[in-house]
Amino acid sequence: TGVSGPPGAEATGTLTRATVDGVAVFDDLVLEQPDSEYSLTFSHAELSVTSDDFAVLADRIFNDRFEAEE
């Protein structure tokens, strides 16, 4: 799992997960720095997918789901 965002931005939590039936769940991934241009990149073997840009707002809980076919 990789994160692209403002300078100094980093993702915390468990950044590597096993897949179950083609799905990897990152249920403790945290981005603490507010910004409007985050994206996440997920890779498995020869497959890589990058999310669209999304915002992390101060004092908000963000919950989303990104999917890619294998």
The 10s digit of each residue's pLDDT in 29-53 is 888 888 888 888 888 888 888 989 9
Long-range contacts of 9-13 (CB under 8 A, 24+ apart): 9/33, 9/35, 9/38, 11/40
**CA distances for 2 relative to 5, 13, 20, 33, 39, angstroms:** 10, 12, 20, 15, 8
Find the helix or strand (DSSP H, E) in which 36 lies. Answer: strand 35-44
pLDDT at 67: 62
Domain boundaries, given as residue ranges, for the chain: 2-56
> Which residues are CB-neighbours of 59 under 8 A, at least 6 positions away?
none
pTM: 0.67
